[in-house]
A and B are shown apart, each in its own frame.
Chain A
Amino acid sequence: MNEPIPIVRIVDDDVSYLTAVARMLRASGFTVKTFASAAEFLARPELDVPGCVIVDLQMPELSGLDLQEALAREGQRLPVIFLSGHGDIATTVRAMRRGAEDFLTKRAPKEDLLDAVKRALDRNTCERDARAQLKALRERFTALTPREREVLHHVVQGKLNKQIAYDLGIHERTVKLHRTSITTKLGVSSTAELTKLWMEARGLDV
């Protein structure tokens, strides 16, 4: 799959700082988009595009924390890096507890900022990959018929064909046929592999 280029979004009402940090990140090879307020960002967040958000904590009207909250409400997982003129402990704790990627002062060393951005982008990529895999897995399981699913539930509990046939009130030969169909559809070659796949897919409600 062709993954789009991740974008680093920067939100700061101080245009001077906004321009400067965008310049530095561009020079470091990132693709950058700037917003002068949280509202401007939330109006067109383009959430499908991977990346992260760097946001000033103190802004008039909507603050950085408000922006984080708005993203969380929409179920978005874009990593958020907070910047502050000077960090005070209370707000730092609040931001981190809500899952901030990082919390830096505006005069933090360049390396810290670049590291934070790289970490955020990596995490975003991982998360997106994981989500994509999970999605593929779910698609594979949806190919099973209800009866096949029933049989599968028994199989991963380690039951023998005879037991399964007895439990479900069907013929043992029919159970065998279902098992073949299941392994073919899920593309696995052994019961061990099948059980492993099942474990991965747990939580996917199959």
Chain B
Amino acid sequence: MKKLPAGSATLVLALLLTQALFAAEPKEVKRVLLLYGEGKAHPAHELTDQGIREAFRSNQLFDVQLYPEYLDSSRFSGSSHAPAVADYLRRRYAGIKIDAIITVYPSAIDFLMREKAEIFPEVPIVASQVPRLSAEKLDRSPFRHFLTGVVIGDNSTGLLDGALQLRPATKHVALVAGVAPNDVDGEQIWRNALKPYLEKLRLIDLTKLPIQEVLARVGSLPTDTIILYSTIFKDGKGVDFVPREALTLVSRAANSPVFGLYESYLGYGIVGGPLVSWQNLGKESALMALRILGGASPASLPFGGKRAYINLYDWRELKRWGIPESELPPGSEIRYTEPSLWRDYKGTIAGMIALMTVEALLIIGLVLNLRMRRRAEQALRESEGRVALAVSSAGAGLWSLDMDTGYFWTSDRALELFGFAPDELLDYEKFLRMIHPADREVVRQATQQAAQSGLLSTVDYRVVLPDGSIRWVASRGSFQQSPANGPNCLMGVSVDITGRKQAEEEIDRQRNQLAHVTRVSMVSQLASSIAHELNQPLGAILRNAEAGEMFLHDPSPDLDEIRAILADIRKDNHRAGAVIDRMRALMKQCQTERRRLDLDHLANETVILVRPDVEKRQLRLVLESDPALPPVHGDPVQLQQVLLNLLLNAMDAVGANPPERRLVTVRTQYASSGVEVIVSDTGCGISEEELLRVFEPFFTSKPNGLGMGLAISRDIIEAHGGRLWVENNVAGGTTFTFALPAAKGGEVK
């Protein structure tokens, strides 16, 4: 063992010393009276007492001395009992200064409220385990300034829900309770809790009966019943009971599972559930008392008792009623399990099985490995031959690039691909110079990235051949770390893809043309709207100009008015200009131009475009836009075309409805599939069969439709790496959605 350095030895010594010093200092003595409502053998009190003592024991501040007293109020309920006990307590504590009182059960606090002024004037009280109603009363009472408390968890609803989850077929619920005041209180709590359930469950009332009758009745309950056992301190014939002993009798005689609220019932015949923990309640009461002893005012401490439940179940009862453990809520504790080999030696058994399995797998693995190696050797020989054949027949060029020295080795075919003479000596810079200036940076970056990731993913670029013509080349490769090639060597393969690129460009061009044609046909649909939209500002300009002229005829014209007129004319001129600009953007036939753009802005612009048409057709068009939408990468003209197409379709779809049900909604949102634009209508929807065909070219449901709109729209969206789909709405009508991937990084400018 290592020796401790001298410094830490001193530190440890100092710590020990201080601790000894603190321990030596005598703690202040505090006396706490524990006033229990029932007798000493009352099981709930036993558990409460344990909780209280545990909390006081672990406190560092005071030396707490406990004085437990038991009122036994269920057994002695006569009118002379209370004064007699009060007298007894007064005499007994005549010479002792009590610092705090903890009462347990409502009977104890009730007693104290009646007698306290005489026995323990001005001593603060923690009223533990009082029902919520009493707690609310106490909270408002004049005693509140020296009193706080802990509410007994009235978790009847929680327990009931738990029970019904375990027995979902339940139709009847039998309630068992006695006649003592505590019994009646408990019964009332249950009755209140049951009220909302009585529409579905039938209540079988077994309260206030003699025990014999209870036992007879619980043995012949209908199937699908659960029994709620409240308490029996005293049965219908006036016989006294310890509640959990009566519970055992009930549970043994019962033909249905029994449920009860309290931890102290577990093991005596209840199935379990979220139970009230007396120990936790006791602990909480003691902690409150400690804060009061430490100087806190009772009035400043709110009533506690909110978290005094624990999920406990009796294994024997679960077995008896055939309730699987998997049904229990997570975190449940199961008690009274029968000893079993698996349960007690789970770890050891599992370990052994695991060990044997591993051993068997190892043996199988070794055998397989041997066979695989033999096959691999054979396959390698074959594949080398195949690779050579494939490379030459695909016209692929091989190369390797030493990243440290810049040495660039190429096969003859690669040399030819890059446009060099057959015997030329290469380096990386020379190679870069052959690449089209617009692609040079792409290639440089891809190489650098490959140096980091170890993989050169496919990069397409143009090579300018000595005769000035362009060749498209695709290259890919990976880093090889074999010593033969040096430690930092990128190996790869390049092929000529000029043919493919030309075909792609041709497809692009055709798509553009087709898009333009459909766009123009759409614009012609909008023509009357556009005329209207232009006539508004033009009309305003005309009227303003006329008014201006008239003002000028006046011998002393109002110059301010004329200035306002001119400003308005200018404004309307801009408005008319904007209409024309929007139109021109749609009409122009241009090369695809991808840039970052805000779909929300696009949606706004498009809605403005159709607005006059919307008014004329008496529709309602609602735009629900998300202003925080991330930008996308795309061609604004083409994307607007798609949206316009969807909008015009939706407007046609609702045309047959009465005006109040002609609603078209455009929504933008950011979802998992990307930036979405959603166009919904309240039309009559599309039949299942047609739903599959709407995107087919020349499919149309309109008398004068071309049938190209949706086909070209889907083509445009897919060319943008997105998706366009259609669904029928549940409430009628159709929803078209297109989603585009969000552009990488940053907000829209």
Contacts and interface: CB of A to CB of B under 8 A. Distances in A.
A85 B546 contact: no
Interface string A50-75: 00000000111001000000000000
Interface residues of B, number: 30
Contact of A110 (B534, B537, B546): B546
A132 B407 CA distance: 109
Nearest to B571: A16
B544 A85 contact: no
B398 to A, nearest CB: 69
Interface string B565-601: 1001001100100000000000000000000000000
Interface stretch (A22-30, A122-130, A170-178): A22-30
Given A16-B540, A17-B543, A58 B532 contact: yes
Nearest to B561: A23
A160 to B, nearest CB: 65
Given A23-B543, A106-B539, A16 B568 contact: yes
A59 B615 contact: yes
A194 interface: no
Interface in B606-638: 612, 614-616, 618
B268 interface: no
Interface in B107-137: none
B547 interface: yes
Contact of B528 (A16, A24, A63, A88): A88
Interface residues of A, number: 24
Contact of B568 (A19, A63, A83): A19
B575 to A, nearest CB: 7
B568 A106 contact: no
Contacts of B284: none
Contacts of B528: 86, 88
B531 A14 contact: no
B535 interface: yes
Interface string B556-570: 000001000100100
B542 interface: yes
A17 B612 contact: no
B570 to A, nearest CB: 11
A58 B616 contact: yes
Contacts, number: 82
Nearest to A18: B540
B300 interface: no
A84 B546 CA distance: 19
B448 interface: no
A85 B550 contact: no
Nearest to B531: A86
A21 B532 CA distance: 17
Nearest to B533: A85
B65 to A, nearest CB: 83
A195 interface: no
Interface string B653-667: 000000000000000
B547 A107 contact: no
Contacts of A60: 614-615
Nearest to B534: A85
Nearest to B615: A58
B550 A24 contact: yes
B551 interface: yes
Interface in B475-534: 528, 531-534
B536 interface: yes
Contacts of A27: 546-547, 550-551
Contact of A20 (B533, B543, B615, B616): B543
A85 B532 contact: yes
A34 interface: no
A105 interface: yes
A16 B575 contact: yes
Contacts of A63: 615, 618
Contact of A17 (B534, B536, B551): B536
A65 B400 CA distance: 79
Given A86-B528, A106-B535, A24 B612 contact: no
B538 interface: yes
A14 B568 CA distance: 13
Contacts of A19: 540, 568
A77 B561 CA distance: 34
B552 to A, nearest CB: 10
Nearest to B551: A27
Nearest to A105: B535
A186 B551 CA distance: 53
B537 A23 contact: no
Contacts of B550: 24, 27-28
Contacts of B540: 14, 16-17, 19-21, 106
A20 B570 CA distance: 13
Contacts of B612: 58, 85
Contacts of B618: 63
Which of A17, A58, A85, A107 gathers the greatest number of chain B CB atoms within 10 Å? A85
Given A28-B550, A107-B539, A20 B531 contact: no
Contacts of B541: 20
A16 B536 contact: yes
A105 B547 CA distance: 18
19 contacts: A16-B540, A17-B539, A20-B568, A23-B544, A24-B544, A24-B546, A24-B547, A27-B547, A27-B551, A58-B532, A58-B612, A58-B616, A60-B614, A83-B539, A106-B539, A106-B540, A107-B542, A110-B542, A110-B543
The 7 closest A-B pairs by CB, nearest first: A106-B539, A85-B532, A20-B543, A27-B550, A23-B547, A85-B535, A24-B547
Given A17-B540, A27-B551, A85-B534, 7 more contacts: A16-B571, A17-B539, A20-B547, A20-B568, A23-B547, A85-B531, A107-B538
